[in-house]
Structure 1
Amino acid sequence: MRGRGRTAILSYRRRVWAPGEHQVVTFTMDNDEASNQPFEYFELNGISFASPLHSLELLEWLKDFEMDPDIPLIVSYPKSGTNWVQQMASLILANGNIDSVKDKILKHRAPWIEFVPFKPGYTDYQLLTTHLNYQMVPSSAKNRRMKIIYVARNPKDVVVSFYHYHNCHHYLKTPKDFSDFLEQFIEGNVIYGSWFDHIRDWYNHKDELNMLFVTYEDMQKDIRSVIVKVASFLNKMLDGKTLESIVDHCTFAYMKTNAATNYRAELKHFNHDIGHFFRKGIVGDWKNHFLVAQNEWFDSIYQERMAGLPLKFDYDLK
């Protein structure tokens, strides 16, 4: 992270994309210059990140970041329901005074630790959030004192949501088409790397951590029961009135239209004219994108990569 009064110089490997191929070159820029540059992909530990959203300096600094064990950490792969859990958990932690936090922007209530310009002490936050895999989170998070909420979603809907997100995001490579993006996703050639590796690594370490595992599909089926489960995990008791208020503030319709949660005013690098940060909020949209052959191919990859992991996802909700 850049200190006060100095300019940090970053040197890292950049991925330059072209249709059907990529190459790796080396370049150098400072943080002030990076803020005015078009997006650049770089790799760390074999995983892709995008500047100026991320920086090598911040990711390296995070290794030794001493996290406060009293501040819960939300972990997820992108497009898995992260904002939903940020909203839910922050309202739970408000101790019934929902009005005190409901109008505060989500990224300030639960900032991403790996996003530039995260700086502890500069933001008054109740929670922290990350999309990082298990190997790259601060070592201080890997203990049983830290409360971790892991949010998972069926990977077919993840890839569809991620595809549309890329189409609207100025700092992410616009996919050629869904078929090409699906292939890149399966190979882990997207920011944050492989979905399969991400969920396997976190799930395989869950018994070493104080971790609650929730799914997007469970929230869709019964948001109320998930709120109660998360509240219990955070050692919070909710009276009936507070519970119902949290339910009301966690609906897709509310979050899509509310300025504190929909990021319309905050995401300057997102093209809101062609898409929305909150798109459909359903389970099963993958069926509108996957061809039969793609679905069969994906299922075979899933069976191979997730063998032995006792996870079952809902791919459709009636």
Structure 2
Amino acid sequence: MKTSLRKLRGLALHRHGEQKNRRDLRSLAQLDELAQASQDMQDMRDCYDSLLSAAAATANSAFEFSESLREMGACLLEKTALNDDEESGKVLLMLGKLQFELQKLVDRYRSHIFQTITVPSESLLNELRIVEEMKQNCDEKRDTYEFILMRRREKGRGRSGKGENFSMEQLQAAYDEYVDDATLFVFRLQSLKQGQSRSLLTQAARHHAAQMCFFRKALKSLEVVEPHVKLVTEQQHIDYNFPSLEDDEVDNNFDDDEEEEEDDMHNDRELSFDYRQHDMEQDVVASRNSMGVILKCFSASA
């Protein structure tokens, strides 16, 4: 009889050990989920901080370029009156005014940088700050739960001391609050992360459109003046297409050949973005159930 009881007890302990191992594996997976969410949050912040820094540098460079164009235009207009040749003076006047036209285009492009990169990035960072506050609240709830759990462990070992004693109901309440906050934090961050790729693509595409607009209009303004410059320089035997420009054209042709080869190698690759809507309530409930496993190991060891 005693032998049978010992066998049953051994079997029960064996099964209990298996259940504990499975539970520990699940809890480790969920702890990894929290750690991954925290890392994703930091990666997103680094991404948008870098994007804002690049946008600021580009905007500052555009501002300096704009100021240089203004100075160049003012200088050319001042020197127009010093030229005795009417046609040459006319071309200098056109080139001077052209600098101011280009300045306006640069200023407009600079404003487009703020519209396409800076403002959306700051908006997304504001949303990320909300998630960071949720993470902070989650950490505070975890600290509270672990403190209550520690006090109950000390009480169970007869070392309660003079500190406050907590009931099982208080432990359960702290447990529920922590799980709820952790679940909402992970869910909110995952939702934000799912939209990150689309947001970045939208920002980059709109900035590309702003660049296309800037260079297209700038080229159009330059081409209007080009025939007049060419005529006057030919009349005065001025070779204004200086040698280094030809070297630049050779370099550009070489780069174009390399780009064509790369296109042939990668013409089958595509970028695809698949965004799916998830049922929020279903995700939150599923996440909460899975997050609950995180702290069961603490309760079991209490």
TM over 0.5: no
The structure richer in helix per residue is 2
TM-score, length-scaled by structure 1: 0.21
TM-score, length-scaled by structure 2: 0.21
**Relative contact order: is structure 1 or structure 2 higher (C-alpha 8 Å, sep ≥ 6)?**
2
The structure richer in strand per residue is 1
